Structure 1
Amino acid sequence: MADPLQIARDALSDAQAWLVGGAVRDRLLGRTTKDLDLAVGGDVEAAARALGRAARAAVFPLSEAFGAWRVIGRDGGWQADLAPLAGTTIEDDLAQRDFTLNAIAEPLAGGDPIDPTGGRADLAERRLRMVSPRSFRDDPLRVMRLARFACELELEVDADTLAAAALQSQRLADVAQERVFAELRRVVAAPDPLAGLALMDDVGATAAVLPELAALRGVEQSAYHHLDVHGHTLAVLAETVALQRDPAAVFGAEPGARLAELLEQPFADELTRGTALRFGALLHDIAKPQTRGELDNGRVTFYDHDRQGAELSRAILTRLRTSERLKAHVAALARHHLRLGFLVHERPLPARRVHWYVTRCAPVEVDVSLLSVADRLATRGRKADEAIAKHLELARELIGPALAWEAGERPVPLIRGDELAAALQIRPGPRLGELLAELEAAQYAGEVATRDEAVAHARAVLAAGE
């Protein structure tokens, strides 16, 4: 692929333009970037169209209000955003940016970097510092960007910057929630999401963005837990990150390789399936505060927190304007995250019970199996070692069938629904659906193998129910 920066330099050699923002920052950090941000002094549309012609790329307006344009390379491997100067000079423009590491410009035609706020020195010191105290007043979303940059780039936040962010954090509730989620998803996807979430706590962003998560603090659990619900949730997230990085450590080489490939798949909302699982970890116990109870003997319970957690997860992600796919996925993870643990006491599992598990948990049968392992590993109260060992043994037994079911390796029906209805002389309806589900389970368990056996089995089930 041609170098998009060189294409831009050649195409805009006569324009007054600067490479700015993340592209400069990443180049200084030695990170590859395919996204260019260009500040243009002059006709932005003309510059965008000139770059588009040179690259034979798509060109379209990005923001009519701000006069920004986007150019996307033919292979989709790079893009350039062009915007007019914010002010009359490049120095004016840089003074209005969020952090010093994003307030560095390189003249596109060549020359020394323009760095009026000391961004290069801050990068060298691995320091995240605001351009000015008004940074967060101008746009409260920068509070979330602070957490995101700090955990993505492993930076220490300047004390004054932390204090200024904290003063504006509650205004995040007034920011368009899709913008908030765009930053939150990058915090959750970062190499160390717990560091980003801790920073969100430090500046008060969690209370504004995810008040339900903040409400988990101080919710005590049973003797089988060593942490309150908030601490446990973060521990589950940490175990999920570890599983995502090396599933083979728990499941062995062959299943581990298949799991790693699955978790890297693009999912929705610019997330991988692995990052969607992290959101499941973050929200799986979100309904525990509202379901907490105590029995007469003092035992703490959270009856129905799985079902109510599914509803609350969906409500949170709806508020954050995420896709329906992510809402349904995370809600299903919350709804089913206890199922594998309940089966530990039924071992050895007959084939029918395995079928029940994968069909009941589908389409998150693989993902929720991983979540259950992370949940179990993060629970280290009374009898933890014994419970973890039994849980992992069952998880290893179920992960193969779950992967197979997810991949579409399922019994081919021995008879169609209309054929079964005719053979049994019954009308289509719920009862027919139940019979077909029973036949699938019987076939999965090896109890029927032919069409005639399927009809006979269904007839017997139907007679027994009459």
Structure 2
Amino acid sequence: MSTADPREPQRESLPEALVQLLPELMRAATAHLAPVLPVLTELGELFAARGHELALVGGPVRDAFLGRVSPDLDFATSATPDESLAILRPWSEAHWDVGREFGTIAARRGEHTVEVTSYRADAYDGQTRKPVVAFGDNLEDDLVRRDFTVNAMALRLPSMEFVDPYAGLADLAARRLRTPGPPEVSFGDDPLRMMRACRFVAQLGLDVAPEVRAAMTAMAGSIEIVSAERVRDELTKLLLAPAPRAGLRLLVDTGLADQVLPELPALRLEVDEHHRHKDVYEHSLTVLDQAIALEGPADGPEASVPGPDLVLRLAALLHDIGKPATRRFEPGGGVSFHHHEMVGAKLTAKRLKALRYDKDTVKAVTRLVELHLRFHGYGDGAWTDSAVRRYVTDAGPLLQRLHRLTRSDSTTRNARKAARLSQTYDQLEERIEALMAAEELARVRPELNGNEIAEVLGIAPGPVLGRAYSFLLELRLDRGMVGREAAEAALREWWAEQPERG
């Protein structure tokens, strides 16, 4: 195994037009960094006083040119981790190792958290999941080992000198995603960078360069050496991007999804010549788009499902993954996907667990996939108040997400059919609101609590009491609020038929 980088850095010059605009662009970027300039200047002076270089690198520099707010302050330095710690300890209110072995020390002062990483050269041996680290000795060699040219720009501190040896600013202007050196080498260093490319396509609206796409396609299988947790985090960032569709397409088209989310490319069912079913893959991407459009503002109330909402977006993307396994061609030319919501729920839970999502997320997304078809039994007008209560109770705290998922699932091009579905769901929501106002459906409970049930029946806590409670809950769902006396009478009638009495 060798940590040597086989490439020769391929430094590039900015186009003349950008060179002329650079002073103006730098003024705009510096103005955007104004809130953190005191921190940048102070740290730059502290490191310089100890004889070390310090530069702001990566995302914060890129975002400054884009006019975006970056949540991170990432620095590269010629100092060793121990030397960085010695400088940051008296400056900060708190400090910690992000990964001393990887050269990164973090510190916090006031509202600012910074990460300082020694110049480095990361490499994989092609077999293990963790990078091998060799520290470097200059900024430009550090930048060539970064994932993409748009992230290989830096500002030396405290001078604010712009460093862009691989024309990242030109690529940013062209909305192009390239690697500083050969993409095969970059992705060989860290295969997760291929997923990061998909994420940047979604987050920043960039297009991958042809050679980057080709390398991703050829090397997709190498993502297997990356831990599930790192893959999950990149997938999450992609899904939470403003427009994840383009990034997901790249994930599928390059074959990466076959490795990390195979249920998604499996939705590309062959559409028969008579078009007896819609393109499930395109439908799922459209449902995701429509679900995102129905999210509330980030600072909105919980009932508005403030975006970006990971649970809703995962459910929208995965809601039909049970269709490939349940597709049946029926006599007479029809196509069915019976119980695909149940099969899909099982597949969803299995995939999200494999990606190491937390239990609450797995449970919530799986439940939405399971329930996403429930509404379609409502259209015939046969739903009783009992059915509406069960719909609300089964959805529980996911009700507002289920509303949005169900509405998003209508992708028909038939305007009349779409309007009818929307109107029908409007009616269901109105019934839910009316029942909620009358019966407090969000807190459905039997009209007798456990202690009262035990007193009426003269029994101790245990399995029988649990069954009695369940009986009264079913009564509440079926008949609504019947009053304490009627509930007690029904309980006694039920109890008279139970063998446990004797």
Fold agreement, TM-score > 0.5: yes
Contact 2:271 2:277 (8 Å CA) reproduced: no
Which position in structure 1 is the counterpart of 2:25? none
Which position in structure 1 is the counterpart of 2:159? 110
1:222–1:24 CA distance, 2 compared to 1 (3 A)? same
Q: Distance in 2 between matches of 1:197 and 1:138?
A: 23
Which position in structure 1 is the counterpart of 2:177? 128
Contact 1:341 1:391 (8 Å CA) reproduced: no
Q: CA deviation at 1:144?
A: 0.8
Contact 2:149 2:180 (8 Å CA) reproduced: yes
Pair 1:23-2:96 in alignment: no
Pair 1:46-2:80 in alignment: no
1:397–1:130 CA distance, 2 compared to 1 (3 A)? same
Pair 1:359-2:393 in alignment: yes
Across the aligned residues of Structure 1 and Structure 2, the Cα RMSD in angstroms comes to 3.2
1:389–1:112 CA distance, 2 compared to 1 (3 A)? closer
1:433–1:459 CA distance, 2 compared to 1 (3 A)? same
Contact 2:319 2:344 (8 Å CA) reproduced: yes
Measured against aligned partners, the alpha-carbon deviations of 1:276-313 in whole angstroms (never above 9, x if no partner) come to 20100111111111112233333322222212211110
Pair 1:293-2:328 in alignment: yes
- Aligned to 2:295, which of 233, 241, 244? 244
- Aligned to 1:92, which of 121, 141, 144? 141
Measured against aligned partners, the alpha-carbon deviations of 1:95-152 in whole angstroms (never above 9, x if no partner) come to 1111111111211221421111111121122221111111112111111111111221
Contact 1:147 1:196 (8 Å CA) reproduced: yes
Contact 1:69 1:82 (8 Å CA) reproduced: yes
Stretch moving more, 145-154 or 289-298: 289-298
Contact 2:119 2:142 (8 Å CA) reproduced: yes
Task: List aligned pairs for 1:386-401, cutoff 5 A.
Answer: 387-397=420-430, 400=433
Tell me which amino acid in the other structure corresponds to 2:288: L
Tell me which amino acid in the other structure corresponds to 2:145: Q
Q: Distance in 1 between matches of 2:322 and 2:371?
A: 14
Q: CA deviation at 1:22?
A: 0.9
Tell me which amino acid in the other structure corresponds to 1:34: P
Task: List aligned pairs for 1:316-355, cutoff 5 A.
Answer: 316-347=351-382, 349-355=383-389
1:226–1:438 CA distance, 2 compared to 1 (3 A)? closer
Stretch moving more, 274-283 or 419-428: 419-428
Q: CA deviation at 1:90?
A: 0.9
Measured against aligned partners, the alpha-carbon deviations of 1:245-280 in whole angstroms (never above 9, x if no partner) come to 589xxxxxxxx965664334xxxxxxx5x2220100
1:6–1:222 CA distance, 2 compared to 1 (3 A)? farther
**What percent of counterpart residues are identical?**
34
Pair 1:159-2:210 in alignment: yes
Q: Distance in 2 between matches of 1:50 and 1:402?
A: 63
Q: CA deviation at 1:222?
A: 13
Helix, strand or coil at the partner of 2:105 = strand
Contact 2:472 2:487 (8 Å CA) reproduced: no
Q: Distance in 2 between matches of 1:384 and 1:459?
A: 49
Q: CA deviation at 1:421?
A: 2.8
Measured against aligned partners, the alpha-carbon deviations of 1:31-54 in whole angstroms (never above 9, x if no partner) come to 222311111112323324533532
Q: Distance in 2 between matches of 1:225 and 1:234?
A: 19
Q: Distance in 1 between matches of 2:469 and 2:419?
A: 41
Q: CA deviation at 1:437?
A: 0.8
1:290–1:425 CA distance, 2 compared to 1 (3 A)? same
Tell me which amino acid in the other structure corresponds to 1:162: R
Q: Distance in 1 between matches of 2:246 and 2:175?
A: 15
Q: CA deviation at 1:13?
A: 4.1
TM-score, normalization by structure 2? 0.79
Tell me which amino acid in the other structure corresponds to 1:78: H
- Stretches of structure 2 lacking an aligned partner (at least 5 in a row): 1-34, 121-135
Which position in structure 2 is the counterpart of 1:78? 112
Which position in structure 2 is the counterpart of 1:262? 305
- Aligned to 2:408, which of 374, 383, 392? 374
- Aligned to 2:102, which of 63, 66, 70? 66
Q: CA deviation at 1:316?
A: 0.7
Q: Distance in 2 between matches of 1:155 and 1:212?
A: 25
Tell me which amino acid in the other structure corresponds to 1:372: T
Which position in structure 2 is the counterpart of 1:432? 468
Helix, strand or coil at the partner of 2:481 = coil
TM-score, normalization by structure 1? 0.85
1:401–1:283 CA distance, 2 compared to 1 (3 A)? farther
- Stretches of structure 1 lacking an aligned partner (at least 5 in a row): 248-255, 265-271
Pair 1:385-2:415 in alignment: no
1:101–1:382 CA distance, 2 compared to 1 (3 A)? closer
Helix, strand or coil at the partner of 2:69 = coil
Which position in structure 2 is the counterpart of 1:416? 449
Q: Distance in 2 between matches of 1:61 and 1:398?
A: 55
Tell me which amino acid in the other structure corresponds to 1:84: S
Q: Distance in 2 between matches of 1:257 and 1:100?
A: 36
Measured against aligned partners, the alpha-carbon deviations of 1:154-198 in whole angstroms (never above 9, x if no partner) come to 112222222222221221122112111111111111111111111
Q: CA deviation at 1:401?
A: 6.9
- Aligned to 1:309, which of 323, 339, 344? 344
1:337–1:73 CA distance, 2 compared to 1 (3 A)? farther
Measured against aligned partners, the alpha-carbon deviations of 1:432-464 in whole angstroms (never above 9, x if no partner) come to 132231354367x2322xx33331232244457
Q: Distance in 1 between matches of 2:272 and 2:291?
A: 21
Tell me which amino acid in the other structure corresponds to 1:355: R
Q: Distance in 2 between matches of 1:395 and 1:380?
A: 23
